[in-house]
């Protein structure tokens, strides 16, 4: 049995199972929307998830893929999750979930006696190793993206504080009294 050909034959099923794992990290009310809306403008998260999962699945099962294309697909997916303030395990866990999917959908075929000498099991183990590599890359990307998000938040706070300080200083130098308020309560 040719491992890559077999996986390509069921890649639609594998992709849908994997995408469902990605969407399971979201609240149930948004999960339905992400799964059903396929318009990239109305549902950019769903579209990015589908596109990225397809690229990464192809690379995992052994299709020729440019490393930069795979890295960019993973980055796009992880960046969305970092901005959404997910926990690291929740953001990256769906990458590792592909192992469970392959174990249930592909491994039984690889373990059949007629496939014993074909190198199928070796190819399967290589696919699992590629998943491990993607998972580790995802952790690094998530940490980097979260750091950028935190830095942006800190800069926003600093800018707000600086603007408030400027306004207070301007008000003091002009000797304008503070506006009176009617507190009747």
Rg of the Cα atoms in the chain:
24
| Boundaries of every domain in the chain | 3-145
A 10 A CB-CB count for 120 gives: 22
Asked if the model's pLDDT at residue 32 lies above 60, the reply is: no
**What residues have CB less than 8 Å from 128, skipping those under 6 apart?**
99, 102
Instruction: Label residue 29 by pLDDT band (50, 70, 90).
Output: low
At residue 72 the predicted structure's pLDDT band, cuts being 50, 70 and 90, is very high
φ/ψ region of 175 (left if φ > 0, alpha if ψ in -120 to 50, else beta) reads left
CA atoms of 47 and 44, how far apart (whole Å): 5
Average per-residue pLDDT in the chain?
Answer: 87
Q: How confident is the model at residue 185 (pLDDT cuts 50, 70, 90)?
A: low
**Global pTM exceeds 0.85:** no
Contact 3, 124 (CB under 8 A): yes
Read off the pLDDT band of 171 (50, 70, 90). Answer: confident
Assess whether pLDDT exceeds 70 at residue 52: yes
- Write down the CATH number for the domain with range 3-145: 1.10.490
Distance CA 49, CA 61 (A): 18
Question: So what's the pLDDT on residue 18?
Answer: 94
pLDDT tens for residues 135-151?
A: 999 999 999 999 998 89
């Amino acid at each position: 049995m040719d491992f890559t050909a077999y996986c390509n034959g069921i890649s639609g099923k594998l992709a849908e199972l994997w995408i469902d794992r990605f969407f399971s990290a979201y609240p149930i009310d948004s999960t339905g929307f992400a799964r059903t809306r396929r318009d990239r403008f109305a549902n950019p998260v769903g579209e990015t998830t589908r596109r990225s999962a397809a690229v990464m699945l192809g690379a995992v099962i052994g299709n020729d893929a440019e490393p930069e294309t795979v890295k960019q697909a993973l980055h796009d997916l992880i960046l969305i999750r970092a901005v959404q303030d997910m926990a690291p395990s929740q953001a990256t866990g769906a990458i590792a979930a592909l192992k469970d999917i392959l174990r249930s959908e592909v491994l039984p075929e690889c373990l059949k006696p007629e496939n014993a000498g074909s190198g199928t099991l070796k190819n399967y183990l290589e696919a699992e190793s590629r998943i491990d590599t993607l998972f580790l890359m995802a952790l690094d990307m998530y940490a980097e993206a979260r750091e950028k998000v935190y830095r942006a938040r800190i800069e926003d706070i600093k800018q707000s504080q600086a603007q408030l300080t400027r306004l207070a200083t301007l008000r003091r130098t002009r000797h304008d009294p503070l506006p009176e308020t009617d507190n009747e309560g």
